[in-house]
Amino acid sequence: MAGYRDRYFGEALPNLNLRDARGDRPARRLARLLFPATLDDADTLAAVRAALNRGDLTEHFRDILLQQEAELLHDRPPSPVFRGRQRPPKLREVSEPSHNGEVYLKVL
């Protein structure tokens, strides 16, 4: 699968970017659909950032890659440094309050 990522960033993305620059709107959809989102790792994130730093992307393709970068970062587990700052889990009440006022919660 790493070969797919390399071909996407090395061949598909530059060619689709050129098509987008010429006004070929389906190129944008293809860029989104072909993005190697299942390869959610540091190498994919590095490839996204390298493509963004090249500076030859159209505005649309820059937006596509920024969105994909945000999704890659969002799906990552928090680093150990920030583990204590995680959001508390969402809770849902699972029963009516008891006679003594206790409410039982379940982690979603």
H or E element, residue 7: helix 2-7
39 and 2 Cβ atoms separated by less than 8 Å:
yes
Share of the chain above pLDDT 90, in %: 54
Which residue from 50, 64, 49 is spatially nearest to 17, judged by alpha carbons?
A: 64
Compute the Cα dihedral for 13, 14, 16, 22 and give only its sign: positive
Q: How many residues does the chain have?
A: 108
CA atoms of 15 and 51, how far apart (whole Å): 13
Confirm whether pTM is higher than 0.75.
no
Q: pLDDT, tens digit, for every residue of 35-80?
A: 998 888 899 999 999 999 988 999 999 999 999 999 888 856 555 5
Which residue from 63, 72, 62, 60 is spatially nearest to 36, judged by alpha carbons?
A: 72
Give residue for tokens 């680093």.
79
